[in-house]
Chains A and B, each alone.
Chain A
Amino acid sequence: MKTSVTALSLLLACDMANAEITFSGYGSIVAGKVVSGEVDPSGEKEFQVDFYDYAFYTEDIDFEQESVIAVQMRADIADKLSATVQVVAKGADGWSPDVDWAYLTYQVGQDGTLMAGRRMLPMYYFSEYMEVGYAYPWIRPPANLYWWEITQFNGLTYSHNFFAGDWTIGTSVFGGRETQRDIKSHDFWRNRGGYYFPPAGTYIAGTADVTWSKILGTNVTASNDWIDLRASYFRTHYNTSAEVMFFDELDLDGDGVTDQIVERRSNPDGTPIISGDWPLTDFDLDFFGLGGSLTFQYVTLLFDYNYVIYDDGYGSRFPTYYVSAVYNHDVWQPYVGLSKAKLKLTENWQGFGVGDAEEHQIMTLGVRYNVAANAALKVEYNKFTDQGNRPGWYDFSYHNDAGLFSVALDFVF
């Protein structure tokens, strides 16, 4: 086995003899601790920071939730063709390395680029580089906006850039699909009184799978010396499924009282029972976004407004936004930010009602200190406030108020 691996590497080495290979990378060491707030249904004061990777802080200081290390390898295969792979290992994921990016880039003419393979899905203004802490001011993009279980996709992207006066215009179209299996966060939410309301007798157990198929979208950017604007849109078909179990209540003696409860997880043929498709688990999703940055002499303003439409049973709508201001001293960059997310139900699903089902905001205050040419130290405080006001079990908003203090060292190499 060892020999064949060596032989393979030699072969690759020979093949790549003419190719220039460059290595680079980035990483973050982040420590955080909840310093105030209310206990949630799990019995802890929790602060969710990454939905996709199921990362959250409690009152115990934790170094693993958001710490990450990534290595990028780029090989120029031919004149206009290159291959890029990014391997990312996260503490929240037990440091197991994932291939988050793996794509071929083909230069089309002077202004066009065709990329084929696995890439980050360009949703929010910061989506494509949300893992690269060094590239933005804060410790993390606002956690109540960047909450999707899908952040990458496999497919094609074509981008075309050109000048128009003082402006640089970038356009891109992309399409593809993505499946994530065993998403722990769905279980996380459910166990905290989350948003699954399966048919009576059905219990969504453990993890769920999510597929985004027929992803098709576009990004348009316009930038000059001080303005950078970006509009994004995509549509996809959303499907989620999970292994479910039933509790059969048996009345053995016919007295109207349950004598025995039998748990059933598998079909007669032994395969697990999988939840079916219905309007809450299988629907179209539209994403609209407008974001950007304005750079003044000392201050940079950043903003992102997004609107997501689920064509699901609830007619879910998610208006979200954030604004942030950063002061740019040579090495010190203090910043403030506000992000707000809402879920509105616009259709009365089986008498569930319509209205605002979820609403919360995060206030952020922090400072970035550029300690070295390639490293930044950040200290940040976030205050999560739940603003949902639907009574009792109607309230999708299981979130607890919490204050989070975190420190990060972000670096690139």
Chain B
Amino acid sequence: MSMRSRNLLAALLLAVSAPLCAEIAVIVHPSNTSAVTDADIKNFYLGRQKAFANGETAVLLSLSEGDNSRSEFNNKVLGKTDAQLKAFWSKVLFTGKGTPPKDVSPSDMLHLVATNPNMIGFVDASAVTPDVKVVAKY
């Protein structure tokens, strides 16, 4: 293998692994003082839990399909592949047992969570702004 192709390989590996190393931050509105545990986050995103500890309904946001942080969140936090999670939410949606999280872009996510006390979402930790509160990092 020539030096050049080895470098290319290294670059490729870096490109592939870079998103996997990024941290995910789970975010809520700064005024939301409810404790949010790892179990709560999992239960919210698997449709089992509908309200924060303070009794307020939790409105779920997810990142649009194709966003690396979305797959990483599904894998790391929920322990599901994208397809498994999608299959799960289609069952819930088409039997009237719940509504899947709304898919938005990272910038919309930050804006929506910053302006709605009921919302919970997640973004790449490096994108977090002071307008939202981080409740967990993965």
Interface size on B, residues (CB 8 A): 27
Stretch at the interface among A7-15, A126-134, A202-210, A246-254: A126-134
CB within 8 Å of B: which A112-144 residues = 115, 119-120, 128-129, 131-132, 134-136
Cβ B87 vs Cβ A86 within 8 A? no
A77 to chain B, nearest CB (A): 14
**What are the residues of chain B within 8 A of A70 when measuring CB–CB?**
94
CA gap between A131 and B94 in the complex, in Å? 9
> Which listed residue (B39, B48, B83) contacts A376, Cβ 8 A?
B83
Asked if B79 is at the interface (CB within 8 A of a chain A CB), the reply is: yes
A163-182 vs B: 1/0 string, CB under 8 Å?
Answer: 10010100000000000000
CA gap between A105 and B50 in the complex, in Å? 16
CB within 8 Å of B: which A344-388 residues = 370, 373-374, 376
Asked if B90 is at the interface (CB within 8 A of a chain A CB), the reply is: yes
> Which listed residue (A115, A161, A333) contacts B96, Cβ 8 A?
A115
**What are the residues of chain A within 8 A of B39 when measuring CB–CB?**
166
**What are the residues of chain B within 8 A of A101 when measuring CB–CB?**
96
Asked if B11 is at the interface (CB within 8 A of a chain A CB), the reply is: no
A330-347 vs B: 1/0 string, CB under 8 Å?
Answer: 110100000000000000
**What are the residues of chain A within 8 A of B91 when measuring CB–CB?**
128-129, 132, 135-136
Cβ B95 vs Cβ A128 within 8 A? yes
B40 to chain A, nearest CB (A): 11
A98 to chain B, nearest CB (A): 15
Cβ B50 vs Cβ A110 within 8 A? yes
A261-283 vs B: 1/0 string, CB under 8 Å?
Answer: 00000000000000000000000
CA gap between A26 and B84 in the complex, in Å? 16
B60 to chain A, nearest CB (A): 14
**What are the residues of chain A within 8 A of B84 when measuring CB–CB?**
328
**What are the residues of chain B within 8 A of A166 when measuring CB–CB?**
39
With A163-B49, A168-B48 as given contacts, are A373 and B86 in contact (CB-CB < 8 Å)? yes
**What are the residues of chain A within 8 A of B87 when measuring CB–CB?**
134-136
Which chain A residue lies CB-closest to B42?
A225
A408 to chain B, nearest CB (A): 14
Which chain A residue lies CB-closest to B48?
A168
Asked if B81 is at the interface (CB within 8 A of a chain A CB), the reply is: yes
> Which listed residue (A105, A110, A168) contacts B51, Cβ 8 A?
A110
**What are the residues of chain B within 8 A of A373 when measuring CB–CB?**
65-66, 82-83, 86
Asked if A72 is at the interface (CB within 8 A of a chain B CB), the reply is: yes
Asked if A258 is at the interface (CB within 8 A of a chain B CB), the reply is: no
CB within 8 Å of A: which B10-58 residues = 39, 42-43, 48-51, 55, 57
Cβ A134 vs Cβ B86 within 8 A? yes
Asked if A412 is at the interface (CB within 8 A of a chain B CB), the reply is: yes
Asked if A211 is at the interface (CB within 8 A of a chain B CB), the reply is: no
B94-115 vs A: 1/0 string, CB under 8 Å?
Answer: 1111010000000000000000
CA gap between A374 and B103 in the complex, in Å? 13
Cβ A225 vs Cβ B79 within 8 A? yes
Asked if A36 is at the interface (CB within 8 A of a chain B CB), the reply is: no
> Which listed residue (A86, A103, A163) contacts B94, Cβ 8 A?
A86
B88 to chain A, nearest CB (A): 8
Which chain B residue lies CB-closest to A134?
B90
**What are the residues of chain B within 8 A of A26 when measuring CB–CB?**
90, 94
| Top-6 shortest CB links A-B | A370-B83, A135-B91, A373-B65, A168-B48, A128-B95, A135-B90
7 A–B contact pairs at CB < 8 A? A22-B99, A70-B94, A105-B96, A135-B87, A161-B48, A373-B83, A374-B65
B contact set with A: CB distance below 8 Å: 39, 42-43, 48-51, 55, 57, 65-66, 79, 81-84, 86-88, 90-91, 93-97, 99
A contact set with B: CB distance below 8 Å: 22, 24, 26, 70, 72, 74, 84, 86, 101, 103, 105, 110-111, 115, 119-120, 128-129, 131-132, 134-136, 159, 161, 163, 166, 168, 223, 225, 328, 330-331, 333, 370, 373-374, 376, 412
